[in-house]
Amino acid sequence: MSRLPRLNADTAPEASRALVRKVQASNGFLPHLIGTLANAPVALETYLTVSEINGRASLDVAEREVVQITAARLNGCDFCVAGHSALALKKAGLDRDAVLRLQRGLPTGHARLDALQRFAAAVIGRRGAVADTELSALQAAGYGPQQALEVVLGVSLATLCNYANVLAGNEINPELQPYAPGVLA
């Protein structure tokens, strides 16, 4: 049971309604995160705007999903782990084993993605104050300053949705349950 109201296009504040409708039409269902963020129109707008901007990053969709799954796992947001696992499988083309390993914080076997996963975890764990060796390891995997900062962008996006879900106590939507940690096998 959510600790915060989960709104829909009929119950959301006027400033959230069009955004809620757009997300529901795009997904075919209303993610609980959106129903929660609808309580604060600026939070919903920020989430959607930053998501769109993050989608234009030089990191490809698989790389962005590595950052999102890593952040969700570390921030204790099973809802986001499930949602981003679904995206990693359906849109990013990651294989099931790689996604399972990301959910568990284990190396995927893809050197560049593993470097990105380690760097994202370091950014989160050290609140940006990564060691020179951690930044060097990212660079050795072929990433530059732009991608390092795009990891920070992805972490900022993840922080908003992870914290909102955890604060609300949102359970995972039925549509995302097959991708939940411990369920995806």
Which residue, among 180, 153, 146, has the nearest Cα to 51 in the 3D structure?
Answer: 153
- CA-based diameter of the chain, in Å? 51
* Distance in angstroms (rounded) separating the CA atoms of residues 115 and 139: 9
SS3 labels along 158-177: HHHHHHHHHHHCCCCCHHHH
Report how far Cα 166 is from the mean position of its chain's Cα atoms.
13
Residue ranges of domains in the chain, CATH in brackets: 61-179 (1.20.1290.10)
* Distance in angstroms (rounded) separating the CA atoms of residues 75 and 69: 10
Percent of the chain at pLDDT > 70 equals 100
Binned at pLDDT 50, 70 and 90, residue 2 comes out as confident
pLDDT in tens, 124-166: 999 999 999 999 999 999 999 999 999 999 999 999 999 999 9
Q: What are phi and psi of 94, to 5 degrees?
A: -75, 145
Q: Is the pLDDT of residue 184 over 90?
A: no
Report the chain's mean pLDDT, rounded to a whole number: 97
